[in-house]
Chain A
């Protein structure tokens, strides 16, 4: 269950381009860590490097270490597929599989893990995951309908249900509310607060109020100019970041005096 992640001297490259430079950070288990910063500063890239999803882009690689409870995620004998089975991810735009029913969407990850499950066990797990994502009551009568028929907020909770169904250690969320209306956003935020009892959550957000509302720790990413690598400028408890940050750049950004 929830594990801590220690990142040391992490450089992330796309080909020869250094996108993010020397990140050092410890992400605590059973808490929500928010990553904020302007567009293009590398916070999403950093997030995706935590479950090796950035490797989907040809030429992407890292130098440095990402260690989850003593296990080096970039060890030479580590399969990225295994990493992603332990570290779930929720994307910016809700992306339930359009060709699958709601039920099959939630079961997708469970079926991948190739365990032969009894139908009744699978039913239980799907129900538990949908309840965990606060979606069960809304969809229990139409589990066999396509997931793409739900509203945006429901689709995003479906994606969260799909991610937590496989009981990952860590849940990464890449701007999970940016495509949603305020009410759906609130539902997701409430859900995150419940989920942090069981998972380590890292969330990238452009919404600073959101970071302030839900997270325990906040990291501020910035880049000094176009073509320059992004850096983690400051990482502190959220309260401190939003009241008396150590860095001038952080204060400028959160108070809107950002140039």
Chain B
């Protein structure tokens, strides 16, 4: 005879109040960040919409929204790319020096100095850029126009104030240097002794050891740091607004008198005196910046994950 008794219900796990409170607050925090992000996106889209549907001649410049935003997007990307190209190799070199070459005392001191650099407010960088760096670069720009003028980057005519795209890029490079080097330093320092010794035992010199065991291990960390830096460079407002004399359209001439402005600097400079549809156009440019930053982050994640098998995390 078979019985078809239902199996006894599994005992309900006892829910302790502490667990419930913690789970609830953690979930709440997780949801909150999504809500904030969605709220920002919704605000940008709804406020930008009037500028998207407005007739072309109402948009500042008179040629429509695309023509208004395109040079700003270009200027934003150009300044950020210059900053990244200058800062990343330098930051990696600094991080390697601090972790593997400097005597311990000096390494600690340099670590502090780099952190201090990160704490300087961006307005100070802006002042420094406009008052010290820009004039100092003027002679170089003249020289570059004369001798490197065949490159489109140095086509000239060279700016006499030094407030060029290249100056802005260099100021940004110095601003993002600390974050990239701090993160690189962290990951380089964590490169496992096991693998460093493996390289040394094969007869690697210190540089070869770094190339075999440290750089590949730290690669994703360096990319992550660079992307954080890129995020800061893309969104940096004050320093660029002060340094860059941005008025022109799309050009790769880095030392000329007329440079494309960046989105953030343009918003900061124009917003106070804007009304009506002009405000909507500015917000539309902000939406573009939002999308760019998002895309950059996705791209960075994709790079980091591409060779996950070889990351050393398994």
* Cβ of B195 to closest chain A Cβ, rounded Å: 6
- Are A82 and B195 in contact, CB atoms less than 8 angstroms apart? no
- Are A89 and B217 in contact, CB atoms less than 8 angstroms apart? no
Please, which residues of chain B bring their CB within 8 A of the CB of A84? 200-203
Please, which residues of chain B bring their CB within 8 A of the CB of A163? 201-202
- Are B194 and A93 in contact, CB atoms less than 8 angstroms apart? yes
Please, which residues of chain B bring their CB within 8 A of the CB of A64? none
Binary per-residue interface labels of chain A (42-68) against chain B in the complex, 1 for a CB within 8 Å, 0 otherwise: 000000000101001000000000000
- Are B201 and A89 in contact, CB atoms less than 8 angstroms apart? yes
- Are B204 and A112 in contact, CB atoms less than 8 angstroms apart? yes
A98-B310, A99-B311, A149-B314 given; A51·B198 CB < 8 A? no
Task: Please report the C-alpha to C-alpha distance between residue A88 and residue B198 in the assembled complex, in whole angstroms.
Answer: 10
Is A242 on the interface with B (CB-CB < 8 A)? no
- Are B312 and A112 in contact, CB atoms less than 8 angstroms apart? no
Task: Please report the C-alpha to C-alpha distance between residue A47 and residue B217 in the assembled complex, in whole angstroms.
Answer: 28
Residue of B nearest to A79 (CB): B205
Binary per-residue interface labels of chain B (192-225) against chain A in the complex, 1 for a CB within 8 Å, 0 otherwise: 1011111111111100100011001101000000
- Secondary structure class of chain B's binding surface, majority of residues: helix
- Are A56 and B197 in contact, CB atoms less than 8 angstroms apart? yes
- Are B212 and A88 in contact, CB atoms less than 8 angstroms apart? no
Task: Please report the C-alpha to C-alpha distance between residue A56 and residue B312 in the assembled complex, in whole angstroms.
Answer: 22
- Are B204 and A51 in contact, CB atoms less than 8 angstroms apart? no
- Are B202 and A162 in contact, CB atoms less than 8 angstroms apart? yes
Residue of A nearest to B205 (CB): A81
Is B309 on the interface with A (CB-CB < 8 A)? yes
- Are A95 and B205 in contact, CB atoms less than 8 angstroms apart? no
Task: Please report the C-alpha to C-alpha distance between residue A163 and residue B203 in the assembled complex, in whole angstroms.
Answer: 10
Residue of B nearest to A86 (CB): B203
Residue of A nearest to B203 (CB): A85
- Are A166 and B197 in contact, CB atoms less than 8 angstroms apart? no
- Are A98 and B203 in contact, CB atoms less than 8 angstroms apart? no
Residue of A nearest to B308 (CB): A146
- Are A99 and B310 in contact, CB atoms less than 8 angstroms apart? yes
Residue of B nearest to A172 (CB): B201
Is A40 on the interface with B (CB-CB < 8 A)? no
Residue of A nearest to B314 (CB): A148
Task: Please report the C-alpha to C-alpha distance between residue A253 and residue B303 in the assembled complex, in whole angstroms.
Answer: 55
Please, which residues of chain A bring their CB within 8 A of the CB of B309? 145-146, 149
Task: Please report the C-alpha to C-alpha distance between residue A82 and residue B203 in the assembled complex, in whole angstroms.
Answer: 6
- Are B201 and A51 in contact, CB atoms less than 8 angstroms apart? yes
* Cβ of B226 to closest chain A Cβ, rounded Å: 18
* Cβ of B136 to closest chain A Cβ, rounded Å: 41
- Are B195 and A98 in contact, CB atoms less than 8 angstroms apart? yes
Please, which residues of chain A bring their CB within 8 A of the CB of B212? 97, 100, 108, 112
- Are A100 and B197 in contact, CB atoms less than 8 angstroms apart? no
Task: Please report the C-alpha to C-alpha distance between residue A109 and residue B216 in the assembled complex, in whole angstroms.
Answer: 16
Task: Name A97's contact: one of B195, B200, B201, B219 (CB within 8 Å).
Answer: B195
Residue of A nearest to B198 (CB): A95
Please, which residues of chain B bring their CB within 8 A of the CB of A101? 310
- Are A97 and B216 in contact, CB atoms less than 8 angstroms apart? yes
Is A16 on the interface with B (CB-CB < 8 A)? no
Task: Please report the C-alpha to C-alpha distance between residue A197 and residue B201 in the assembled complex, in whole angstroms.
Answer: 22
A53-B201, A97-B212, A97-B216 given; A148·B194 CB < 8 A? no
Task: Please report the C-alpha to C-alpha distance between residue A51 and residue B194 in the assembled complex, in whole angstroms.
Answer: 16
Task: Name A113's contact: one of B197, B201, B203, B217 (CB within 8 Å).
Answer: B203
Task: Please report the C-alpha to C-alpha distance between residue A61 and residue B189 in the assembled complex, in whole angstroms.
Answer: 24
- Are B312 and A98 in contact, CB atoms less than 8 angstroms apart? yes
Give the contacts of B289-314 with A (CB-CB under 8 A): 309-312, 314
Is A159 on the interface with B (CB-CB < 8 A)? yes
Residue of A nearest to B103 (CB): A58
* Cβ of A116 to closest chain B Cβ, rounded Å: 16
- Are B200 and A56 in contact, CB atoms less than 8 angstroms apart? yes
Is A91 on the interface with B (CB-CB < 8 A)? yes
Which of A99, A145, A163 counts the most chain B CB atoms within 10 A?
A99
Please, which residues of chain B bring their CB within 8 A of the CB of A51? 201
Task: Name B311's contact: one of A53, A95, A98 (CB within 8 Å).
Answer: A98
Task: Please report the C-alpha to C-alpha distance between residue A98 and residue B314 in the assembled complex, in whole angstroms.
Answer: 8
- Are B217 and A98 in contact, CB atoms less than 8 angstroms apart? yes
A81-B203, A99-B216, A166-B203 given; A146·B197 CB < 8 A? no
Please, which residues of chain A bring their CB within 8 A of the CB of B192? 95
Task: Please report the C-alpha to C-alpha distance between residue A98 and residue B194 in the assembled complex, in whole angstroms.
Answer: 11
Task: Name B194's contact: one of A91, A112, A146 (CB within 8 Å).
Answer: A91
- Are A109 and B200 in contact, CB atoms less than 8 angstroms apart? no
Please, which residues of chain B bring their CB within 8 A of the CB of A82? 203
Q: Which residues of A contact B (CB under 8 A)?
A: 51, 53, 56, 81-82, 84-86, 88-89, 91, 93, 95-101, 108-109, 112-113, 145-146, 148-149, 159, 162-163, 166
Show 8 A/B contacts (Cβ-Cβ < 8 Å), sorted by A: A56-B200, A81-B205, A84-B200, A84-B202, A88-B201, A97-B198, A100-B310, A146-B309
